[in-house]
Amino acid sequence: MERTEEIRPYDVVVVGAGAAGMMAAGTAAQRGCRVLLLEKMEKSGRKVRITGKGRCNVTNARPAEEFAAQVRTNAAFFAPAFAAFNNRAAIRFFERQGVRLDIERGERVFPHSGKAWDIANALLGFCVDNGVKILYDTRVTGILTLGGRVFGVKYVNKRGFERKEECPQVILATGGVSYPATGSTGDGYAFAADLGHTIEPLRPSLTPLVSSHPRVRQLDRLLLRNVRATLWIDDAPVREEFGELGFSERGIEGAVALRMSRDAVDALIEGRRVKIVVDLKPALTEEVLRDRIARELAAMEPTEFFGELLRKLVPRPMVLPLAQELDIHSKTYVSKLSEAEIVRLIRTLKGLTFPVTDYAPFEYAVMTAGGVRCDEVNPETMESRRVRGLYFAGEVLDLDANTGGYNLQIAFSTGRLAGMLKK
């Protein structure tokens, strides 16, 4: 009679097949572990596939010290994970997986194809090639522990039956609560809290900001390039950014606003006054701008309209809203402009102010701020200090960074480190 080899239990179950989860699962399997990856959605990497407007800003190629400065929360905690698997290592990883990468402005790294799917598929291929067993449409309902140690997970499979899988180690890589349609609905926070972990308050990060300015609706779909914006909280400037600022039905967005949103959201929650002051002509001093306007006026006919002057200074969609902001009719003859109106124009171009009264919800946020408290996790291994055999990776942790590829690198670095667990 032919003998059949007994199938041994899984060494580790990974919960969540996002960027962090797939990196963790593939790494553990590569090291010889028998790995089960559970994903409640119908496919892996749902959020990865839409990130960067479908292009996927994989990482950022800045030097380590510059990279660290972009991590907004618990940068010191993240340092060992980044040292073990940094941005250069991530670039090499994806290139070895067959993904050609390009480094663009701001040292942002994208797949050469411009398709986020290539990154998601590379991570999936990494798991499959190393023998990871993946179950989709599978919702984990609990982490099983005994005597302060993990011994398995409970889950509901695609047929609706509850199952239990025994294992000595579990990696929670369930993501945050941003973009919930991709499956990020905060399950990991509930599991962690049930096991005694502290969850730092959750709030949207890298999210559009809502302004009460009456002209915002008229600026819908406008993207301003090369502007300088300053975030004011109460009566003090707290953050200055240079780059792109956009407007949409969701609010004020673009890289500049998203980078400011982390501070703005916290201030709004605290009931403080928030505003964004935009310098539309950051390369020009007020004196130089005055000379520029004087030259434009000198070249115009006296009967040309004020709107024509504005078209020489700002994008067309801003002409009417800016004229209204200045309380100068767009069809006022330029010869009728007073010195006071010229001064008001200059000051507005150098300091267009948008009161910020709210922020867009998690549905529009790129990241979740808050999460599992980092001092309850070992930064050298990503293992819980409260429950042996429990590991965390990615957005479920209280780790977030600026836009520009930094947050995906956090997912890769923490996932890689969590996956280095022992067999």
Range of the domain at 79: 12-204+367-418
Q: Is residue 147 part of a domain?
A: yes
Q: 114 pLDDT exceeds 90?
A: yes
* pLDDT exceeds cutoff 70 at 17: yes
Average pLDDT, the chain: 96
Do residues 291 and 392 share a domain? no
Residue 189 near residue 199 (C-beta atoms within 8 A): yes
Give the residue among 262, 264, 246 at the shortest CA–CA distance from 254: 246
The confidence score (pLDDT) of residue 2 equals: 46
Residues 378 and 343 in one domain: no
Q: How many CB atoms lie within 10 A of CB 406?
A: 24
Structure confidence by residue, pLDDT tens digits, 248-283: 999 999 999 999 999 999 999 999 999 999 999 999
Which tens digit of pLDDT belongs to each residue from 227-240?
Answer: 999 999 999 999 99
Q: Report if residue 218 sits inside a domain.
A: yes
| 161 and 247 both lie in a single domain | no
In this predicted structure, the answer to whether residue 34 has a pLDDT above a threshold of 70 is: yes
Domain shared by 45 and 193, yes or no: yes
Quick check: 205 pLDDT over 50? yes
pLDDT in tens, 316-326: 999 999 999 99
**pLDDT (0 to 100) of residue 380:** 98
Together in a domain, 19 and 152: yes
CA angle 345, 323, 355 (to 5 degrees): 80
pLDDT at 1: 42
The domain spanning residue 224 has which CATH number? 1.10.8.50
The verdict on 158 and 258 lying in the same domain is no
Q: 386 and 371 in one domain?
A: yes
Tell me if 5 is assigned to some domain.
no
Same domain, 353 and 381: no
- Residue ending a domain, among 334, 360, 386, is 360
Task: Confirm whether 1 is domain-assigned.
Answer: no
Same-domain pairing of 34 and 174: yes
423 in a structural domain: no
Encode pLDDT of 163-173 as tens digits. 999 999 999 99
- Across the beta sheet with 170-172, the strand order is 133-135, 35-38, 12-15, 170-172, 390-392
Compute the average pLDDT of residues 65-93.
Answer: 97
Domain of residue 101, CATH code? 3.50.50.60
Q: For residue 6, what pLDDT band results from cuts at 50, 70 and 90?
A: low
| Structural domain count, the chain | 2
Token couple for 83: 């040292």
Q: Are residues 215 and 348 in the same domain?
A: yes
User: Cα torsion for 292, 296, 297, 300, to the nearest 10°?
Assistant: 170
Q: Are 81 and 381 in contact (CB under 8 A)?
A: no
Q: How far is CA 206 from the centre of its chain?
A: 5
Q: Are residues 164 and 43 in the same domain?
A: yes
